[in-house]
A = this chain, B = another copy of it.
Amino acid sequence: MPKRTDRLTSDIGWSTPDQINVRGMDLPSEILGHMNLGDMAFLLLAHRQPSAEESTVFNAILVALVEHGITPSAMAARITYMGAPESLQAAVAAGLCGLGSVFVGSMEGAAKMLYDVLPPDQLGTGADLEVIAKQTVADFRARAAIVPGLGHPLHKPVDPRTPRLFEIAAQNGKSGEYIALIELIQKEAEAASGKALPINATGAIGAICCEFGFPWEIVRGFGVMARSIGLVGHILEESTNPIAFELWQRTEEEILEASGPSAHGAAK
């Protein structure tokens, strides 16, 4: 629980009758028309404007997180919209509520793992990444835990986003020891398990976040902001090509048949 403070402050920005300032930049003259939406997110999270290279890499990360088809969060948003079409914002909110430990967790898990085994202050000190990778995989296997950021139910043997994200990172000066390390961890994990364990998009993004030096606790926020864009897209499709009503009817009918009075031997 935080301590009491005498004074409420915020460094995000301020407004006066003729000025609007965000993180030290004048919104009308320095931000609008100069920065894209991903840059604006970077400004709010890193408290400075990204370089052109950072902008390219950071936008690519966020863009990769926007849309993943009919995910559980898209289903929740569409089903919610069916009941409250006048509250689009609440349907997006419902979709976001499920972005918890199961789906977005692997992204922050990958970042946390990389920071844990290679703390930022050891970058550039000649750490032996192969040794670290071996030890990391051994540790996860010893406690029968899944290495975060590896493996995908559909995208095998390669998640097609990963090589492309790593290519973009490399072309823009953001490919360093963390990306090298997760690639070694993957090789080690595949060798140890005998299974295809591609670095999935969340693993790739987790590693790139480490290259940026973002705290791992921030990483979930990237998923949340990007997915809210994707959810608006799903809700708009639901408004013209609905799936929620049919999903509901089928589910109700199937459960009635399986669990209703005839299943319980009741006379009907």
| A interface residues (Cβ-Cβ under 8 A, vs B) | 1-5, 7-22, 27-29, 31-33, 35-41, 44-45, 55-56, 59-60, 62-64, 66-73, 75-76, 79-104, 154-156, 158, 160-161, 163-165, 167-168, 171, 217-218, 220-226, 228-230, 232-237, 239, 241-249, 251-252, 254-256, 258-261, 268
Contacts and interface: CB of A to CB of B under 8 A. Distances in A.
Contacts of A156: 17
A190 B223 CA distance: 44
A90 to B, nearest CB: 4
Contacts of A223: 89
Contacts of A261: 14, 16, 19, 21
A33 B61 CA distance: 9
Contact of A161 (B13, B28, B56, B87): B28
A207 to B, nearest CB: 15
Given A45-B236, A63-B37, A241 B9 contact: yes
Contacts of A62: 37, 40
Number of copies: 4
Most B CB within 10 A of own CB, among A1, A10, A67: A10
24 contacts: A2-B246, A7-B254, A9-B241, A9-B255, A10-B70, A15-B155, A22-B67, A33-B56, A33-B171, A35-B59, A37-B59, A37-B62, A37-B63, A44-B66, A72-B248, A75-B251, A80-B94, A80-B97, A84-B97, A84-B101, A87-B90, A88-B221, A94-B98, A96-B228
A97 B156 CA distance: 37
A267 to B, nearest CB: 10
Contact of A83 (B39, B103, B158, B236): B103
Contacts of A27: 64, 160-161
A86 B100 contact: yes
A36 B33 contact: no
Contact of A258 (B9, B12, B15, B90): B9
A84 B87 contact: yes
